[in-house]
Structure 1
Amino acid sequence: MGVWMNLLLTSQLLSFSLKVVAGLALFLNWRRYRRDSLLLWALFFLSSSLSTVSDFTGLEVGIPLFHAAGVSFLVGGVVSLLDEEAVGVSTRSLKLVALTLPLTVSSYIILYASYVTKPVPIYISFGISGIFYTFAGVILWSVRRFYPRSGTLLSAVIILHGVHKMDYPFLRPVEWFAPIGFTLGAFFNVLEVIAFLQVVLSERFRHVGKTIGPDVIKKGVFIVPPDRFASYIEALSEFPVLAFTRKRDLPDKWEVHSLTTIEEPGNIGPTQLHRIIERTRSYLAEAHREGVTGVVVIEGLEYLMMYDDFRSLMKFLATLSDYVTLYGGMLLLVLDERSPSEKQLKTLRQVLNVGD
């Protein structure tokens, strides 16, 4: 019995220590990079550590309360990362979640009430949080395009950890299993911290790049005709450009988001201008912190004009221009000036303060 209690205590202390260290590390990184996902994930680890303390001290109401708060921060951080990376979640996926999540929670509660002779409400609330924990891991799977190894590992670990947490209401009252459960939890915590650090310390997450910009890079907004765009592609082929485009054959160094109605990770719909704004803001802010002139390319304005009214498009471009000015970046608008009317072209130049 003493051995089991020592193992339980060791697992709890290890879990608590890892969560606090990870939370503080992510918070310090947030102070440097100011990415919302970092702050929310820092709060996730710190809230989860308080759940561990509640279990250790016997404060049962704190177990599900702090764990639920932690899961909320975890999901919020995942959604923030999707926004920062301009990763869209398809409408089909959202419909599937809307249809299955309530049924999953209800089925879980019924299963618990059926198999446990003396149900404990606090335990079941903890288990339900595990369902949403797993849900966060499933959502995170969408970032594997940008973080192939670390993103896949983090998603897989969170999913498995969430599944493990769902056994809490069933096995927590079993005295002999408690040390085993906490040992498994500590193991998942170790993997979780490693996976989180791999993502947030990666070159892509921390900064846009430290490549010295070529002479073609100049701060401001520029309208480039399609026939001259090829020369910019060649000149910027080794620079970490952020591009929103209809083209497919672009340099590997570029972060490319296709403008299309096809719902796939990384693609952006023609009416989702807010996602372009959010990713541009994040990219330019990171470049500014690294002392790099961030370069943003928008190729496909004619395509956007088919779906968005001219007034909305001008507001969108004015916002991008403001961020370019704020962070000292460069915005390349690839546009055949014969496409818009003379009045529209004049308005465009006035809004963006671009000369003839």
Structure 2
Amino acid sequence: MNILLAGQTFSFSIKLTAGLFLFLRWWRYRRDSLLFWAFFFLSSSVSIVSEIFGFKTGVPIFQALGVSFLAAGIVSFLDEEALGFPIKSLKIAAFALPVTVSTYVVLYALLHSLITSKPNPLYLSYGISGIFYATTGAIFWTVRRFYPRTGTILSATLVAHGLHKMDYPFLRPVEWFAPIGFAIGALLNMIEVLAFVKMVLSERFEYVVPEDRSLLVRKGVFLISPGEFNNYVEALSDFPVLAFARRRDLPEAWEVHLLTTVEGAGNVGPTQLHRIIEKTRSYLAEAHREEVIGVVVIESLEYLLMYNDFRSVLKFLATLSDYVVLYGGMLVLVFDEKSLEERQLKTLRQVLNAGGTK
């Protein structure tokens, strides 16, 4: 039992520390996801204290509360990162969860006698929390595109930990297995904490400010000035933007195609509007499959107008706008409004149903 107590104490310590750490990060960055995850770890630590001191009803209550905070944090995180809630995952969860919970309860009712003659409904509620724990981990798989290593590890660990919690009602009464179970739980707790901390301390996480990102990344077509474009470059420096530009000093995370008459890998000629359309369609379709808002930037619209008449460029932009609507993306056109006649600017806004950022 000393091993059991040591495992519980270790898990409590790292979860309490992680909760306080994330709360301090929330105080600095004010991201809702940080606050929810701080409460997730704190609630989980209280559940462990309940186990240590024999407050049996506290174990499932604070476990369930912790999972609720975990799920709320993940949903908030997806919103802050402009990923959007994965509808496909939601549909799967909506279908599978009721069946899974019911099947789990039936299995416990049928198999508990093989382990103990006294079924414990409190243990059962702990296991049901594990089902939702694993489900939130599966939803978190969505972030692997922007947090490839940490997101994958964290998602896999949450799923594994949820499955481990599901064995609690069956194996907790088994004396010889209890220390092993808590040792496994302590290991998973440690991996979770390290993954959360690494993600929270990453440059991407620290740089993204929810209010700024939500204002910048929106579905539709937007006309902005070169000065405003600098704000986009700074705020979306680590966002996978597709850009067609004259500038060369754009973020490395962007897929940039230079607009130039000089041939070269990735370069696009000013009269090759069909290539821009095809690349944009492909990019937005992929972003749509990944359930994120794809951002396409055309910088220096004036350059295209030097080689094409206004009517041709307008038709070209209208086609891009149709793809933006079809795939739920965002198109940013960067140019000086003074370079167009007032009638042309008005027509441009009407055809594209475009807005500004002000």
- TM value normalised by structure 1: 0.67
RMSD of aligned alpha carbons: 3.9
Q: Give the structure 2 partner of residue 107 of structure 1.
A: 103
CA drift at 1:87:
2.1
Q: Give the structure 2 partner of residue 66 of structure 1.
A: 62
**Residues of 1 paired with 2:208 and 2:91: CA distance?**
34
CA drift at 1:267:
3.2
CA drift at 1:219:
4.7
- Residue 265 of structure 1 aligns to which amino acid in structure 2? E
Would the aligned equivalents of 2:75 and 2:85 in 1 still touch at CA under 8 Å? no
Would the aligned equivalents of 1:74 and 1:136 in 2 still touch at CA under 8 Å? yes
| Counterpart pick for 1:235 among 243, 249, 268 | 249
Q: Give the structure 1 partner of residue 150 of structure 2.
A: 150
Q: 1:230-277 CA deviation, whole Å, 9 max, x = no partner?
A: 214x23245x7799xxxxx79xxxxxx9544974225338xxxxxx9x
Would the aligned equivalents of 1:89 and 1:265 in 2 still touch at CA under 8 Å? no
Paired residues in the alignment total: 281
Q: Structure 2, unaligned stretches of length 5 or more?
A: 210-224, 232-242, 257-265, 268-281, 300-315
Q: Give the structure 2 partner of residue 207 of structure 1.
A: 207
Matched, 1:50 2:46: yes
**Residues of 1 paired with 2:357 and 2:37: CA distance?**
37
| Counterpart pick for 2:290 among 260, 265, 270 | 265
Alignment of 1:208-223 (within 5 A): 218-219=227-228
Give the SS at the match of 1:333.
strand
Relative to structure 1, the CA distance from residue 301 to residue 24 in structure 2 (aligned partners, 3 Å threshold; closer, same or farther) is farther
Q: 1:38-97 CA deviation, whole Å, 9 max, x = no partner?
A: 111111000000100111111111101101010011111111221122224554332222
**Residues of 2 paired with 1:149 and 1:262: CA distance?**
20
Relative to structure 1, the CA distance from residue 343 to residue 42 in structure 2 (aligned partners, 3 Å threshold; closer, same or farther) is closer
**Residues of 2 paired with 1:84 and 1:343: CA distance?**
29
Would the aligned equivalents of 2:134 and 2:163 in 1 still touch at CA under 8 Å? yes
Which piece of structure 1 moves more, 18-27 or 72-81? 72-81
**Residues of 1 paired with 2:346 and 2:322: CA distance?**
11
**Residues of 1 paired with 2:319 and 2:292: CA distance?**
14
**Residues of 1 paired with 2:283 and 2:27: CA distance?**
32
- TM value normalised by structure 2: 0.67
Would the aligned equivalents of 1:40 and 1:77 in 2 still touch at CA under 8 Å? yes
Relative to structure 1, the CA distance from residue 304 to residue 267 in structure 2 (aligned partners, 3 Å threshold; closer, same or farther) is farther
Q: Give the structure 2 partner of residue 341 of structure 1.
A: 347
CA drift at 1:122:
0.8
- Residue 50 of structure 1 aligns to which amino acid in structure 2? V
**Residues of 2 paired with 1:32 and 1:12: CA distance?**
30
**Residues of 2 paired with 1:75 and 1:121: CA distance?**
24
CA drift at 1:348:
6.3
**Residues of 1 paired with 2:34 and 2:287: CA distance?**
30
- Residue 98 of structure 1 aligns to which amino acid in structure 2? A
**Residues of 2 paired with 1:35 and 1:301: CA distance?**
36
Structure number, greater radius of gyration: 2
Would the aligned equivalents of 2:284 and 2:324 in 1 still touch at CA under 8 Å? no
Give the SS at the match of 1:235.
coil
Matched, 1:81 2:77: yes
Would the aligned equivalents of 1:260 and 1:267 in 2 still touch at CA under 8 Å? no
Relative to structure 1, the CA distance from residue 150 to residue 187 in structure 2 (aligned partners, 3 Å threshold; closer, same or farther) is same
